[in-house]
């Protein structure tokens, strides 16, 4: 597995070695020993999630307080723009965001450490999004920052309003977000 540090260096873009033959392909989508090497510490996942969304659906920007989740995210059908926002107050990149296209085609994964808000916009007709988390879902700890917060100014590739959940439509401005 190759790791490319991004503009927020603790976020890693991961690409596994792909084996292709007459039957199709094979790759290791998760290898605990390799991830430990790349991240520089043991990472233990406790939950796997799978969501399916239609084109123009935007989920986010989500995070949990008290029980923050590190996430290993990927797409197995379709294409999304995946976005993370650094919520770590002591970080030189606090308040910065980065976006990466993840798709079934490019097979890229993102390692998103604890302390980030996360969201994605579906670019294809439909997208199946898979992710592992380092802590359990804790509804009382869930927080949402508005996807269109003007201070964050995330450059979502969309001309009209995306499809968001009622919960996400109530996302708070970045300046009111609880940080780490
Ligand atoms: C997140 C989550 C939701 N649920 C349930 C609650 C709810 O009725 C239904 C849909 O939940 P949501 O609308 O919160 O799902 P969704 O908007 O897809 O939430 C996810 O968004 C992405 C961007 C993330 O980063 C994730 O951590 C998570 O917050 O699924 C679980 O059972 N377990 C979970 O871990």
Active site residues: 62, 131
Residue nearest atom 2 in ligand 1 by C-alpha distance: 137
Q: pLDDT category, 159, cuts 50, 70, 90?
A: confident
Joined tokens for residue 75: 């797409």
Alpha helices (H) along the chain = 32-39, 166-169
Q: Is 136 in the pocket of ligand 1 (CB under 6 A)?
A: no
Q: Which atom of ligand 1 is nearest to the CA of 47?
A: 35
Give domain limits for the chain.
2-176
- Give the residue whose CA is nearest to atom 32 of ligand 1: 137
Tokens (6 digits) for 126:
């439909």
The interface predicted TM-score of the complex, written ipTM, equals 0.99
Predicted confidence (pLDDT) per residue in 30-68, tens digit: 999 999 999 999 999 999 999 999 999 999 999 999 999
Average the pLDDT over 157-176 and give the result.
96
Domain covering 2-176, topology? Jelly Rolls (2.60.120)
Length of the chain: 180
Q: pLDDT digits over 127-158, tens only?
A: 999 999 999 999 999 999 999 999 999 999 99
- The DSSP secondary-structure symbol of 56 reads T
Residues 6+ apart with CB under 8 A from 151: 95, 173, 174, 175
């Amino acid at each position: 597995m190759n790791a490319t540090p991004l503009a927020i260096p603790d976020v890693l873009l991961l690409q596994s070695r792909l084996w292709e033959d007459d039957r199709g392909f094979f790759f290791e989508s998760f290898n605990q020993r390799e991830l430990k090497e790349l991240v520089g510490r043991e990472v233990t996942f406790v939950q796997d999630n799978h969501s399916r969304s239609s084109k123009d659906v935007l989920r986010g920007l989500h995070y949990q307080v008290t029980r923050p989740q590190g996430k290993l995210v990927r797409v197995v059908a379709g294409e999304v723009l995946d976005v993370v926002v650094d919520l770590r107050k002591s970080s030189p990149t606090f308040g910065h965001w980065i976006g990466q296209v993840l798709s079934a085609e490019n097979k890229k994964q993102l390692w998103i450490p604890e302390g980030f808000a996360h969201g994605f916009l579906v670019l294809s007709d439909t997208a199946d999004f898979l992710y592992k988390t380092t802590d359990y879902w804790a509804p009382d700890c869930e927080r949402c920052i508005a996807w269109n917060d003007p201070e964050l100014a995330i450059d979502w590739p969309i001309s009209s309003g995306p499809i968001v959940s009622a919960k996400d439509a109530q996302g708070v401005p970045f300046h009111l977000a609880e940080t780490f």
